[in-house]
Structure formats: C-alpha cells, structure tokens
Structure 1
C-alpha cells in the first residue's frame, strides 16, 4: 500500500527543492566542476563527459551526464579492454569521492533527475524487472537514494530494489533530508562504492541472487 502522507511534497515541493538546490550547487561548485573537467581532459583525454541513456520517471529515457573515469584503451582487435584495466587510479578517486557524479546536477536542473531517488540504471535492464522492481520508476531517479546510503553498490540487487521501492512508498521532506545528510557522510567516509574486488557494479541479469 502506497504512503500518501508525502503527496503534496512529492508532487509540488520536491521538484522546486530540486531546482533550487541544484542551481545553487552548480554555482557554488563551479570551480570544482571546472577543475575536475580540466583534470579529466589532461589525465583521461576527450571527451570529458561520459553520456549514457538511462530510464527516468515512468521509464522515460533521458541522457545522463557524468565525468569520465575510464580510458579508451583497446586490444589489437579494437575491442575495449576490461573495466578493471581502463579504470585508472584517478578514475577510482573520482568515483570514491563521487566527484564523477557532479554533472548530474544539470540533469536535476533540467528535471530528468532528483536530488534523492532510486539511482538511474541501464536501459537494457528494463525488460528484466518484475512488477515490484518496476515501481522504482514511479519517481524521478536520484543523485543519491535510500539504497546508496544503505550500502550503495556493496549490497545485492534484491536488497537494492527493495530499498528503492521502500523509498517510493515513503517519499517525504524529512526522509529526503535524512538521505541527503547521510549521503554527505558516506561521501566523506568513501564506503560502499563498488562490490568487493570489482572495478564497477556487477551487471544485473534479472536473477534475484545477483549482486
């Protein structure tokens, strides 16, 4: 049963808060954005931004922006090398500090994303979701979310989806600010970035036992 207590906040106030916070953050963090962009260009090359289509509210596809964290190293056949090889020390630093996520502030400003919500996953996952998991798309995807402050990429897919739906059912001003403050703490601690011994999050196959 869906929680209707945060109905007004969810429909009206949340989007206004997202716009104001993302606008202020872009202005305040503009020196950081510029510095990271320059370092990415120098250390990893061009393009500076990683762009990828992701499903948003009601599964509407949008283009998500992040700072690039991998090189374009390829083998003799022209195929990209494994993520663990292309993810440099600098790229790991960007991910562990969440600096690579900063361009998503522009997605929030545009209305594609929210400050808080289920993280936008890959488009190819859409056919794999069951009805319960699909409910994560009833709200805008977020820069951070309940799953992220509860373990980020270090928890299994099943737990992650359950946390996403739990958030959807309990959207409120207080819950969002709890997640925002928890996110700030997590960023400084730098925990739960990826699964143990993996460069990136494991691919979701639709199996509830996937991590």
Structure 2
C-alpha cells in the first residue's frame, strides 16, 4: 500500500517508453537451493533472446553459463527509465513481494541464477544458499561492483553467512537506506 503510488508511476513510465511487460521475472536460487521467481521492474528493452539464467533440457550448466549475459555498467540494453530506477533502486521494489512470500529476506546474499552455480566451488554454493537471499547485502554495500571481481563478492557473501548477527543485519539496512537516498551506485 505504501509504495502503490510509486509502483503505478513507474509502471506507466515503463510502458510508455518501451514495449514489453512492466515486470521482469527470472528464476533465482534461494535458501536450500530452492528455485523461485524474482520480481523486478523491467529496466531493459524487452528481448526475445532467452537470458533466463536457467539450464534448459539438453544443455550442460557450463553451456548455459556461456550463453547467460549479466548486466554490465552502461549496458546499452538499459532504457532511460531503467537508468533512473536502477540509480535509486526502484527496480528492486517488487522484490518486497518475494520477501512477503518468504522467498527472500531484506538482507542476505543477492540471489543468483541457476547457471551461476559454476562460478562457485561446491562448498561456497552450498554455504551461500544456507540463508535466504536478500534485496540488499554486505557485498553490495561494501565495495562497488565495478572495482572488484566476482571472487570478492563471493567472499563477502560467505563472510555474511558465517558472521550473521542482528547488528550486522540492521547495519546493512541502514547503510542501504543511505545509498538509496543518495542515489549511489553499488
């Protein structure tokens, strides 16, 4: 209810700017490796190319990973509205539904797609998926993505899982609010 005016406005802007659905849905891996559909505002031009992050029948996870395309900084697929809603993390608002239904938490490692499992050792993958994934997390707040590699993100996620505390949880929430208000990039 609180976000409904924002949701309505963003929905209108997305539909006016480009064809396609208002929401972006994608399979992600959650707690205990359970798959769920993440919900976000669509911030990119709609494409018929399958970039689901799932492993289709008849393909190995390695083949699927090679085809999967992560979003890059200044990605040409991002719309003008998409740039704005990403800057202020408005594209993440629909994930509160994922929190409400229990697929996600406010804080935790960002949920990966199934094909991203190949980026981890078996132990790292199991450990990071012991907790609910979050809308925000320690890795997103600690270091800007453009300045560190995937290994550092993995280490930050593992650190969060191992050292979890209520103090850390609320620290991350407060720091996230500051990032959103400033429109800072993760």
Distance 1:54 1:152, change over 3 A: farther
User: TM-score, normalized by length of structure 2?
Assistant: 0.79
Q: CA deviation at 1:190?
A: 2.9
For residue 87 of structure 1, report the CA deviation from its aligned partner.
1.2
2:46 equivalent to 1:55: no
Candidates 160, 170, 173, aligned match of 1:167: 160
Question: Tell me, which stretches of 5 or more residues in structure 2 are unaligned?
Answer: 49-70
After TM superposition, give the deviation of residue 62 of structure 1 in Å: 0.4
Q: Report the alpha carbon displacement of residue 43 of structure 1 after superposing the two structures with TM.
A: 1.4
8 A Cα contact 1:132 1:165, kept in partner: no
- Asked which structure has the greater CA Rg, the reply is 1
Distance 2:47 2:166 in 1: 44
Distance (whole Å) between structure 2 residues aligned to residue 41 and residue 51 of structure 1: 16
Which whole-Å CA distance do the structure 2 matches of 1:190 and 1:109 have between them? 25
Q: Give the TM-score normalised by structure 1.
A: 0.70
* TM-align CA RMSD: 2.1
Distance 1:54 1:125, change over 3 A: same
2:107–2:173 CA contact under 8 A, matched in 1: yes
Deviations 1:117-138 (A, max 9, x none): 0001121011331034211111
1:137 to 106, 119, 129: 129
- Report the Cα distance in structure 1 between the residues aligned to 2:154 and 2:37, rounded to whole angstroms: 22
Q: 1:42-121 maps to which residues of 2 (within 5 A)?
A: 42-72=16-46, 84-121=75-112
How many positions carry a matched residue from both structures? Answer: 161
Whole-Å Cα distance in 2 between the matches of residues 131 and 96 of structure 1? Answer: 33
**In structure 1, which of residues 130, 141, 150 is the aligned counterpart of residue 142 of structure 2?**
150
